[in-house]
């Protein structure tokens, strides 16, 4: 970390005193309105189209982990667990603490999230990915607790045509093709992405298909954009390997203890985005959308190995009335989401202890989420702007149990009931331009998370629903942005307190009143060392702690106030060195560091962390044809994507060995 802060000092002193600013990045995620990133007090990391293309990610984690404070554990295929200014969260907390969006619309309904939140995103076709670190603010409600990820579709007005093919180790193949430009009906975009792999582990294949279409046009003064997405995923899943540092044994790591595990997903979404100006200062924006999600999943991590079938269909609306003057921009809006969801779980295999053969759960839920919000930004002076906002949200669930009420084995099926939750999410912030190059920003915000439906109605004997309250996270942060002719940096510090933390402890009992504390520092920097050499760094130091006591029968999972959250490394960084000696070549070296972390709540088990080196290269035959390749895990490091200690032993998702891939890109 000393090296990182030394580099920061060099950059700060090297930026020319009277340099012209580099172009500012336009974002839409912070307020749901297009704005320069420097105007917002919300920290937003941006992965642009050019970087995403250069990266050619085989998994969303490769891209997202380039944002400071983000730590996505890569699982098999597209599976993953996410951390944004947090530990890596699992269960309902892992599903509901992060909001995953496409063009500002949730990939899933708020109460029906999944811990593999990016598996239904068309990230291989993204025009830009924006990541908010910390609470989402008044524009977003439940699930935007620790952060959110917004996948933006490409601009169809930019004429282009692309064909990209890639092949690599472990039976990996990737196809991407797209075209955009003006048509007789408006500006259109169409894209197709296909990713497949045999998997480097036994019985761990993947086939993911994503299709994306967009058409933009105008009717009178009204601008409209129709968008549609289809996702089809078929995945064979490899499970943990067990035993202390088992990931160091490549042969053992390749073995899959449950070759019958799988995950099949189908998702479809369509939306209509409208913008109508009533005057030079007053504009109405709106999004109407429908979504459908279906997933079949073998619960391979439980002795039951039961089959779970989930589905939900939604219709929703987002609206905002925006008033803009020379110094003020204010917006008020109403959002609504109505969902019909269901869950069915059945165990085929014979009874194993409390995991009884037969039907476990069969229920249907009608859910509604209604919200109103307001946000305003005002320029007090030419250098100082202040902003404030508030979101009020009401979540209601109508639960219908279609199985016999009561307990059977370890499964408790509540009787029909209704539940509702009300949340308030205020925020306030400021930005102050200290000079032409230096800007200071600060924000205080609250994130909220209403309970997920699976947390409420997929219970075990002894658990109750009453008393569960929405989680709340209060965040205070401050930072500085420095921009100059040769680069930019952003440094942010934060403290956060979270309460009403809901999880199931090692005894299988619902905990509804947990508390955690979080604080840290994040750095994001890009600097041109020479006309042909650029460096980019994202880094974070953070401490995540329990703020309560909880004794359980398993001593390794006993929680003590002040203990570190498990799977929460203090140190994370991603550093790149990009060399472009001429117009033909571009080479990138990447260093990924994951610091050590505890693998259990009692802090008695530990993972030492790891360092990975990746190389990427591109050679341009012409403006239209490029050859590209990558070597991931260049030094063939034996490491764990995820380390955990549970049921009396270490268990790991082993990291992939060294792998080579090569591809060809043809564009118009």
pLDDT digit string, tens, across residues 590-648: 999 999 999 999 999 999 999 999 999 999 999 999 999 999 999 999 999 999 998 78
Q: What is the dotted CATH code of the domain comprising 2-667?
A: 2.40.170.20
d(CA 520, CA 495): 7
Reduced to 3 states (helix: H, G, I; strand: E, B; else coil), residue 548 is coil
Which DSSP helix (H) or strand (E) runs through 338? strand 328-347
d(CA 631, CA 587): 12
Q: Where do the domains of the chain lie? A: 2-667
Contact 666, 162 (CB under 8 A): yes
> What tens digit of pLDDT does each residue of 524-574 get?
999 999 999 999 999 999 999 999 998 887 777 889 999 999 999 999 999
Per-residue tokens: 366: 């009608």
More confident residue, 336 or 239: 336
Q: When comparing pLDDT for 39 and 481, which is higher?
A: 481
Whether 520 contacts 492, CB under 8 Å: no
Between residues 311 and 20, which one has the greater pLDDT? 311
Q: What radius of gyration, in Å, describes the C-alpha atoms of the chain? A: 24
Tens digits of per-residue pLDDT, 436-464? 999 999 999 999 999 999 999 998 888 88
Segment 179-217, tens digit of pLDDT = 999 999 999 999 999 999 999 999 999 999 999 999 999
Partners of 81 in beta bridges: 73
Question: Angle 171-172-174 (CA atoms, 0-180°, nearest 5)?
Answer: 140
This prediction's pTM:
0.94
Whether 9 shows a pLDDT value over 60: the answer reads no
How far, in Å, CA of 57 to CA of 52, rounded?
A: 7
Q: CA-to-CA distance for 341 and 312, rounded, in angstroms?
A: 4
| Residues 6 or more apart whose Cβ sits within 8 Å of residue 216 | 156, 157, 186, 187, 188, 223, 224, 225, 226
**CA 151/CA 153 separation, integer angstroms:** 7
94: phi then psi, degrees, rounded to nearest 5: -65, -30
Lookup: tokens for 260:
């019958």
Confidence at residue 137, expressed as pLDDT on a 0 to 100 scale? 86
Three-state DSSP string of 156-210: CCCCEEEEEEEEECCCEEEEEEEEEEEECCEEEEEEEEEEEECCCCCCCCEEEEE
Neighbouring CB atoms inside 10 A of 577's CB total: 15
* 620 close to 598: Cβ distance less than 8 angstroms: no
Q: What is the pLDDT of residues 342-353, one digit of tens each?
A: 999 999 999 999
Q: Say how far apart CA 652 and CA 574 lie, in whole Å.
A: 22
The answer to whether 316 and 288 are in contact (CB under 8 A) is: yes
């Amino acid at each position: 970390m000393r090296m990182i802060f030394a580099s920061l000092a060099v950059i700060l002193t090297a930026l020319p005193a009277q340099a012209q600013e580099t172009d500012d990045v336009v974002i839409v995620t912070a307020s749901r309105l297009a704005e320069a990133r420097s105007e917002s007090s919300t920290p937003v990391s941006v992965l642009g189209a050019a970087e995403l293309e250069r990266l050619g990610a085989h998994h969303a984690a490769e891209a997202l982990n380039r944002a400071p404070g983000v730590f996505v554990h890569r699982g098999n295929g597209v599976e993953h667990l996410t951390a944004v200014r947090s530990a890596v969260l699992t269960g309902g907390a892992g599903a509901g603490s992060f909001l995953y969006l496409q063009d500002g619309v949730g990939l899933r309904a708020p109460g029906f999230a999944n811990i593999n939140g990016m598996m239904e995103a068309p990230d291989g076709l993204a025009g830009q990915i924006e990541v908010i670190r910390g609470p989402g603010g008044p524009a977003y409600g439940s699930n935007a607790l620790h952060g959110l990820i917004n996948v933006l579709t490409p601009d169809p007005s930019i004429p282009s045509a692309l064909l990209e093919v890639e092949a690599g180790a472990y039976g990996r193949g990737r196809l991407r093709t797209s075209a955009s430009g003006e048509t007789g009906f408006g500006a259109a975009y169409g894209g197709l992405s296909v990713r497949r792999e045999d998997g480097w582990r036994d019985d761990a294949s993947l086939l993911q298909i994503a299709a994306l279409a967009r058409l933009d046009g105008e009717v009178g003064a009204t601008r409209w954009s129709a968008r549609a997405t289809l996702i089809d995923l078929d995945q064979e899943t490899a499970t943990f390997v067990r035993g202390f540092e088992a990931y160091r044994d490549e042969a053992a790591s390749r073995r899959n203890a449950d070759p019958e595990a799988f995950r099949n997903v189908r998702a479809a979404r369509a939306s209509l985005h409208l913008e109508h100006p009533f005057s030079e200062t007053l504009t109405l924006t709106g999004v109407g959308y429908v979504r459908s999600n279906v997933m079949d999943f073998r619960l391979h991590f439980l002795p039951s190995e039961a089959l779970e079938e989930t589905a939900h269909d939604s219709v929703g609306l987002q609206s905002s009335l925006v008033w803009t003057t020379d110094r003020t921009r204010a917006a008020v809006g109403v959002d609504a989401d109505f969902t019909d969801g269901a869950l069915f779980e059945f165990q085929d295999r014979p009874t194993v202890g409390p995991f009884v053969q037969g039907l476990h759960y069969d229920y249907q839920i009608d859910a509604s989420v209604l919200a109103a919000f307001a946000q305003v930004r005002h320029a007090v002076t030419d250098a100082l702007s202040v902003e404030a906002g508030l979101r009020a949200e009401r979540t209601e669930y109508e639960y219908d149990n279609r199985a016999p009420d009561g307990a059977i084995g370890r499964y408790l099926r509540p009787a029909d009931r209704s539940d509702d939750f009300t949340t308030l999410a205020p925020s306030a912030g400021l930005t102050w331009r200290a000079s032409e190059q230096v800007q200071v920003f600060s924000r205080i915000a609250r994130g909220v998370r209403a309970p997920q439906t699976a947390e409420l109605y997929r219970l075990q004997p002894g658990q109750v629903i009453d008393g569960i309250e929405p989680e709340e996270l209060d965040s205070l942060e401050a930072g500085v942005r420095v921009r100059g002719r040769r680069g930019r940096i952003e440094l942010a510090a934060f403290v956060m307190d979270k309460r009403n933390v809901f999880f199931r402890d090692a005894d299988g009992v619902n905990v509804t009143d947990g508390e955690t504390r979080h604080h840290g520092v994040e750095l994001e920097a890009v600097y041109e060392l020479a006309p042909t050499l650029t460096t980019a760094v994202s880094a974070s130091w953070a401490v995540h702690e329990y703020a309560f006591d909880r004794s359980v029968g398993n001593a390794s999972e006993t929680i003590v106030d002040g203990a570190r959250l498990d799977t929460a490394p203090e140190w994370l960084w991603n550093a790149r060195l990009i060399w472009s000696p001429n117009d033909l070549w571009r080479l990138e070296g990447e260093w990924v560091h994951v610091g050590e972390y505890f693998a259990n709540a009692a802090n008695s088990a530990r993972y030492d962390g790891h360092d990975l080196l990746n190389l990427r290269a591109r050679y341009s035959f012409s403006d239209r044809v490029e050859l590209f390749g990558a070597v991931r895990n260049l030094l063939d490091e034996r490491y764990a994507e995820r380390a955990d200690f549970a049921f009396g032993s270490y268990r790991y998702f082993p990291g992939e060995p060294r792998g080579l891939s090569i591809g060809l890109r043809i564009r118009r």
